[in-house]
Structure 1
Amino acid sequence: MVADKQRLLVVYGALKYRGIYRSHQDFDDLAQQAMGWYAEAYRDFPGSPEKDQSSFSHYAFQRIDWHLKDRFKRQKVRANHQCLYLDAGLNGENVSEWLIDSDCDAALIERAAAQQLWRRLWPYLTQKENSYLRCVIELGLSNKEIAERWQTTPQAVSYVKKRVIEKARAIYSAPPNIA
């Protein structure tokens, strides 16, 4: 009982330290992942976690914090890389230039429009929502294929799609920013 309470204190404390509260959209996923990192810390701790609970708690907290820091750093790098790709358009060309090209077929024009929409939505979407759009726009996957790829249910993918649509509607229905 004490060990469970200590585990929860360490895991939730590390999440809170990184500014991830229960209201955070990815809280449940990150908490679950942090539980796994806690288990790894328990396994890798040099010594006995039961005998030296204070040192182990500090060790586990630090391990979880480092994992979270690395995860957020990777997300930022990925987001910057993806934004560069989206800004470059297809094949390194400017999207607006090749939209005018008469040799473009309807599929390329549709994909360019989708990428422009994605570029505008990017800052407002979670990692999962951006991943969904990447699967749809870049890879052309269906919800069923995305569910198989993510190893989840089609209903979960539909929920992510619903959130993307809601955010897109909110952004496009908002009055223009006149400064």
Structure 2
Amino acid sequence: MAEGFAFLLADNRTRLIHGVLKSLYLRPTDDDYHDYFQEACLLFAEAYCDFPQNIANHETDLMHFAYQKIRWRLLDQRKRATWQQSCCECSLDSPALSPTQKELLFLDPASNSPLAVTAKNDLFARLATLCTKKQRDYLLSVVVRHMTDSEIARYYHVSRQNVYQWKRGVIKKARKLL
């Protein structure tokens, strides 16, 4: 790894790292730019060690190899960070949440209390009105009949891909609803 770092720092090769970060639309003014820069340096050293050919004769190939490795890994990290952030943005102090929604966040989904049952039934009814016929069939099969995706595909004589499509549609509409 030390050889990889030495190779990176020689002859201004850190331009490769800056190029990768630029291709990912990261700017030096971004808060996490330096974190990604450090991560990219580690990935370069790793790529240097993993490169199968003689580096002295194939420096250009190494640079292409390292560029792709760094870009793909950082792209995955950014996607994961964005996904985690979008999933965790909800705050109980958020003015976007109504008092009813705040109350529903604390309900136990397995609870049979009248409030929980009413909330589940209300959500199911509102979601069913937004869905297409096939999506309603999927929703009914999952919620009422407790069927798996494969069982639904056999029951409706369609492919699992169609069932997954219905499922994605229901999920999108549920997210809009919530």
- Place the TM-score, normalised by the shorter chain, in its bin: 0.3 to 0.5
Q: Which has the larger radius of gyration?
A: 2
TM-score normalised to structure 1 length: 0.45
TM-score normalised to structure 2 length: 0.46
